């Protein structure tokens, strides 16, 4: 039963095109590492963190000791050391914790590592493009810590003046930059300067959406601009397995010994906050798949992939603009776009999402800044190019996709016609099937 459903999902992915900006298609090697016997193994604790500079062979030659609570770790220690070493190389970090099960777990671990209950975090509101885990009232962290929100301005950019004023007034213990629906490049150096005037303030970047663009050299790295910590998921632009990752700058020491609470010790404070602070056994099959994906991202081809993701997003934005779609912020500097389809076509985002599902194009309904509509039928949709670029689509294909979006928006606004939807579905399927999934190769 489950096997058949997985096969049906494979067919859905093959025959359709994925435009959700936080999704991607992994390689066969990543998929196989995920589905390996490593899922049988407990490995609570950490491998040894010494000797992680250098290439893979050097990392493996140096040590295979660890601080683990179970025997039989000769392979898991090596796998996790390689994952850590590759992540450090990819993101110029002093340390990497590869164990978070998700981006939410990664963010919560950083909060737990640095904050006391009631401490203030300055972050972007969910409504303006932030993330649930950045203090949305429904989350556990919002019950424990005091989240204060800055917004985006009318131009779609972070309101840096508001951020600076709030930092002065609230003295946050964390300033958090990083978003789920933001199309500009944050000015990390400007935020670092603001934070420098706040005592004991940790600079944290949640780069889940753009980590692959950072790895591919087309987006700045916050760790290069004075940020202490960067969290990310590993499955979006980074094109790895579903999971989380925490990168940090500072002194790396033995996680069994509690260090003094200083910004310098943040790598070890985070290790202790991940395990045993907020998680138990790490998912070594996922960590192996992360190591494979980091290895892929270290290759020169990945830089070319990242460049194409951004070029495709720009081409898609332009093709949508000339087809009268309203693009929030006027365009994009990264992999994603936010469209206000209520203002351009008089349809809500959820209806448009469902109409596109019928033709095999997948995206998600999304609120736009200062949206007056309810979350389940917001004014906008969010879409992006990481997955279709992996599939090999180019800028000319983005014009075709924009055309399908325009025709579907008209069908959706006009009540729809079954035959017209079916004809569009055939066109999408033909393009999709001519670009196999990477795991089919
Ligand atoms: N749920 C992710 C997204 O789609 O942006 C963020 O974690």
User: Which domain CATH number covers 131?
Assistant: 3.40.640.10
Beta bridge partners of 97: 246
- pLDDT greater than 90 at residue 76: yes
Q: 441 pLDDT exceeds 90?
A: no
Ligand 1 centre to CA of 36 (Å) is 26
pTM of the model: 0.96
The 3 state secondary structure assigned to the chain is CHHHHHHHHHHHHHHCEECCCCCCCCCHHHHHHHCCHHHHCCCCEEECCCCCCCCHHHHHHHCCCEEECCCCCHHHHHHHHHHHHHHHHHHCCCEEECCCCCHHHHHHHHHHHHCCCCCEEEEECHHHCCCHHHCCCCCHHHHHCEEEEECECCCCCECHHHHHHHHHHHCCCEEEECCCCCCCCCCHHHHHHHHHCCCCCEEEEECCCCHHHHHCCCCCCHHHHCCCEEEEECCCCCCCCCCEEEEECCCCCCCCCCCCCCHHHHHHHHHHHHHHHHCCCCCHHHHHHHHHHHHHHCCHHHHHHHHHHHHHHHHHHHHHHCCCCCEHHHCCCCCEEEEEHHHHHCCCHHHHHHHHHHHCEECEEECCCCCCCCCCCCCEEEEECHHHHHCCCCHHHHHHHHHHHHHHHHHHHCCCCHHHHHHHHHHHHHHHHCCCCHHHC
Domain boundary residue, one of 241, 265, 297: 297
| Average pLDDT estimate for 264-274 | 98
Residue with CA nearest ligand 1 atom 4: 22
Instruction: Establish if 410 belongs to a structural domain.
Output: yes
Q: Judge whether 273 lies within some domain.
A: yes
Predicted confidence band of residue 241 (pLDDT cuts 50, 70, 90): very high
Tell me the two tokens of residue 94.
């002093």
Quick one: 81 and 175 in the same domain?
A: yes
Question: Which protein residue has the closest C-alpha to ligand 1 atom 2?
Answer: 22
What's the whole-number mean pLDDT along residues 74-93? 97
Q: What is the mean pLDDT of residues 133-150?
A: 94
- The average pLDDT across 283-303 equals 98
10 compared with 417, residue with greater pLDDT: 10
| Most informative mutation of 23, 182, 236 for ligand 1 (most atoms within 8 A of CB) | 236
pLDDT of residue 127: 83
- Residue located nearest, by CA, to atom 3 of ligand 1: 22
Residues 315, 239, single domain; the answer is: no
Q: Are residues 180 and 287 in the same domain?
A: yes
- Averaged confidence pLDDT in the chain: 96
**Could you give the number of structural domains in the chain?**
2
- Whether residues 285 and 313 fall in one domain: no
Span from the CA of 22 to the centroid of ligand 1 (angstroms): 6
Structural domain including 147 reads 28-297
* Residue 68 belongs to some domain of the structure: yes
Query: Is residue 14 domain-resident?
Result: no
Is residue 15 assigned to a domain?
no
208 lines ligand 1 (CB under 6 A): yes
Assess whether 226 and 272 both reside in one domain. Answer: yes
pLDDT at 114 over 80: yes
For residue 164, count CB atoms less than 10 angstroms from its CB and return exposed for 0-12, middle for 13-18, buried for 19 or more.
middle
| Cα(393) to centroid(ligand 1), Å | 23
CB of 131 sitting under 6 A from ligand 1? yes
Alpha carbon of 101 to ligand 1 centroid (Å):
14
Instruction: Give the phi and the psi of residue 47 in degrees, each rounded to 5.
Output: -75, 175
So what's the pLDDT on residue 178? 92
Predicted pLDDT of residue 376: 87
Of 20, 105, 129, 180, the residue with max ligand 1 atoms within 8 A of its CB, to mutate for a pocket test, comes to: 180
103 lines ligand 1 (CB under 6 A): yes
pLDDT of residue 64: 78
CATH number at residue 416: 3.90.1150.10
């Amino acid at each position: 039963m489950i096997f058949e459903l997985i096969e049906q999902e494979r067919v859905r992915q093959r025959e359709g095109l994925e435009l959700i900006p936080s999704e991607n298609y992994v390689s066969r090697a990543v998929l196989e590492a995920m589905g390996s016997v490593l899922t049988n193994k407990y490995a609570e604790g950490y491998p040894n963190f010494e000797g992680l500079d250098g290439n893979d062979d050097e990392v493996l030659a140096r040590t295979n000791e660890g601080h683990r609570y179970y025997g039989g770790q000769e392979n898991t220690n090596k796998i996790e050391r390689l994952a850590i070493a590759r992540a450090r190389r990819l993101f110029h970090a002093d340390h990497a914790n590869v164990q978070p099960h998700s981006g939410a777990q990664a963010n919560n671990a950083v909060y737990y590592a640095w904050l006391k209950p009631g401490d203030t975090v300055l972050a972007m509101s969910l409504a303006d493009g932030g993330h649930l885990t950045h203090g949305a009232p429904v989350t556990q962290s919002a019950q424990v810590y005091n989240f204060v929100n800055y917004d985006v301005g009318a131009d779609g950019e972070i309101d840096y003046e508001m951020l600076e004023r709030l930092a002065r007034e609230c003295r946050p213990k964390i300033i958090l930059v990083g978003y789920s629906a933001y199309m500009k490049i944050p000015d990390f150096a400007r935020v670092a300067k603001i934070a420098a005037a706040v005592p004991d303030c940790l600079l944290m970047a949640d780069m889940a959406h753009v980590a692959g663009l950072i790895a591919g050299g087309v987006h700045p790295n916050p760790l290069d601009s004075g940020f202490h910590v960067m969290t990310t998921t590993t499955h979006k632009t980074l094109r790895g397995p579903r999971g989380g990752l925490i990168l940090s700058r500072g002194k790396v020491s033995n996680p069994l010994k509690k260090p003094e609470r200083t910004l310098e010790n943040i790598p070890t404070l985070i290790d202790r906050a991940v395990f045993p602070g907020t998680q138990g056994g790490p998912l070594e099959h996922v960590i192996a798949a992360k190591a494979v994906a980091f290895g892929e991202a270290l290759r020169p081809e990945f830089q070319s992939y990242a460049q194409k993701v951004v070029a495709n997003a720009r081409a898609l934005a332009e093709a949508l603009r000339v087809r009268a779609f309203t693009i929030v912020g006027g365009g994009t500097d990264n992999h994603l776009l936010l469209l206000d389809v209520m203002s351009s076509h008089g349809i809500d985002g959820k209806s448009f999402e469902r109409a596109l599902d019928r033709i095999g194009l997948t995206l998600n309904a999304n609120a736009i800044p200062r949206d007056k509509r309810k979350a389940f039928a917001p004014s906008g949709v969010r879409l992006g190019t990481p997955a279709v670029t992996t599939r090999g689509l180019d800028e000319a294909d983005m014009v075709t996709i924009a055309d399908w979006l325009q025709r579907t928006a008209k069908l959706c606004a006009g009540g729809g016609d079954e035959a017209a939807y079916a004809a569009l579905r055939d066109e999408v399927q033909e393009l999709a099937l001519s670009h196999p999934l990477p795991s089919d190769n």
